[in-house]
């Protein structure tokens, strides 16, 4: 009897081991950790907003005028969050992703159409460039976030280029989930090297690249977040992600100053080492709210900027830019995004610790 019981336990152990991932199961991030990440997302969105104001004739001082590193940081935080989302609830993952991005994205497209309908068929930016009303094929392409694959980008929807890339990564997430950590690290290294040799493949700004080139060159930043979630407190992977980011920042002629490097390190420190962060409830709620409005702020600020610039508002225009973008973002979040996602949660009957995933 003892022998048979021992055999049963051995069989159960082998069966369980064969169905478990090869990587160590890590503790889930706390509500405080998600709140800190939300605050970082808001900070990155605000950095992008301030950098873009300069495209509309505003002399705003920012630590780095090119906010491309903010996109790297967005993607790293996204990789971390998506790993949690698909591990926590694999069922319905793509449906949740759709409802997380679609309401705000469609709102930004409708806002852009409204700006054209009010201020005319040709819009101006701060450089004096003229942007005629795009054709239906470009509106359709942007609506379905095909900018990273096809030349359908529209100036008034410029920030959506990174969302187009991120959506591509969302689709690949179920495949990446099955890959070992060493394979993921190798993909990150290959992508970073590909990025560094980018001038041999394209002379365009990375946001304008199509045919998946920008997605392949920037996946290193998304995988950095993925590795941070899978192997927190791992100094080796942390250093590898730091090196990959530093190398890609250093080879980009448009990025200058230590601020870019410092921000990349800050984000990596948070996603690798701060998943057990604990904050009081008030601070957690405040930072989480900033994270919630960061996505609409990133998506709608460019149509808002075009509207303000073409309305010929002169007095305190810089403050008007920031205030209007924040107000429209809050409105989109409360009147469109949150009601739709709350309805989805109610239908599914389960809340998640991180509302961003």
Angle, nearest 10°, between helix axes 213-230 and 160-176?
Answer: 60
Per-residue pLDDT tens digits for 74-101: 999 999 999 999 999 999 999 999 999 9
Per-residue pLDDT tens digits for 287-320: 999 999 999 999 999 999 999 999 977 666 788 8
Model confidence at 18, pLDDT cuts 50, 70, 90, reads: very low
Model confidence at 349, pLDDT cuts 50, 70, 90, reads: low
Mean pLDDT of 192-202: 87
Per-residue pLDDT tens digits for 254-277: 898 999 999 999 999 999 999 999
How many whole angstroms separate alpha carbon 328 and alpha carbon 214? 29
> End-to-end distance of the chain based on CA atoms, in angstroms?
49
Q: pLDDT over 90 for what percent of the chain?
A: 77
> Taking the model in full, what pTM does it have?
0.90
Q: Could you give the count of Cα atoms lying within 13 Å of 28 in the half-sphere of its Cβ?
A: 11
Give the pairing of strands 130-132 and 122-124. antiparallel
Would you state the structure tokens that stand for residue 21, as one six-digit string? Answer: 């991932």
How many whole angstroms separate alpha carbon 321 and alpha carbon 311? 12
The whole-chain average pLDDT of the chain stands at: 89
How many whole angstroms separate alpha carbon 202 and alpha carbon 213? 9
CB 51 within 8 A of CB 120: no
Is the pLDDT at 15 greater than 80? The verdict is no
Q: Note the pLDDT of residue 25.
A: 56
């Amino acid at each position: 009897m003892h022998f048979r019981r021992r055999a049963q336990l051995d069989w159960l152990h082998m069966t369980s081991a064969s169905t478990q991932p090869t990587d160590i199961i890590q503790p889930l991030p706390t509500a405080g950790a998600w709140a800190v990440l939300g605050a970082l997302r808001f900070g990155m969105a605000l950095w992008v907003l301030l950098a873009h104001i300069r495209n509309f004739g505003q002399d705003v001082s920012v630590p780095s005028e090119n906010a491309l590193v903010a996109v790297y940081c967005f993607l790293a935080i996204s990789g971390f969050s998506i790993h949690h989302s698909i591990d926590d609830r694999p069922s319905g993952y793509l449906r949740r992703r759709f409802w997380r991005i679609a309401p705000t994205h469609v709102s930004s497209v409708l806002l852009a159409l409204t700006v054209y309908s009010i201020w005319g068929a040709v819009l101006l930016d701060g450089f004096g460039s003229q942007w005629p009303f795009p054709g239906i094929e470009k509106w359709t392409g942007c609506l379905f976030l095909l900018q990273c694959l096809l030349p359908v980008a529209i100036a008034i929807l410029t920030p959506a280029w990174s969302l187009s890339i991120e959506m591509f990564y969302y689709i690949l997430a179920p495949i990446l989930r099955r890959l070992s950590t060493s394979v993921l690290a190798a993909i990150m290294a290959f992508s970073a090297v590909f990025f560094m040799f980018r001038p041999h493949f394209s002379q365009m700004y990375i946001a304008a690249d199509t045919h998946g080139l920008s997605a392949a060159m920037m996946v290193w930043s998304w995988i950095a977040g993925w590795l941070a979630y899978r192997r927190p407190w791992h100094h080796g992977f942390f250093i590898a992600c730091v090196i990959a980011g530093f190398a890609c920042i250093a080879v980009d002629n448009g990025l200058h100053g230590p601020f870019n490097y410092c921000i990349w390190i800050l984000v990596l420190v948070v996603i690798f080492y701060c998943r057990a962060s604990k904050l009081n409830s008030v601070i957690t709620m405040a930072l989480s709210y900033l994270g919630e409005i960061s996505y609409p702020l990133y998506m709608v600020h460019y149509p808002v900027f075009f509207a303000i610039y073409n309305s010929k508002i002169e007095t305190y225009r810089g403050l008007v830019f920031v205030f209007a973008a924040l107000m429209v973002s809050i409105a989109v979040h409360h009147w469109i995004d949150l009601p739709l996602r709350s309805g989805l949660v109610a239908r599914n009957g389960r809340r998640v610790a991180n509302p961003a995933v």
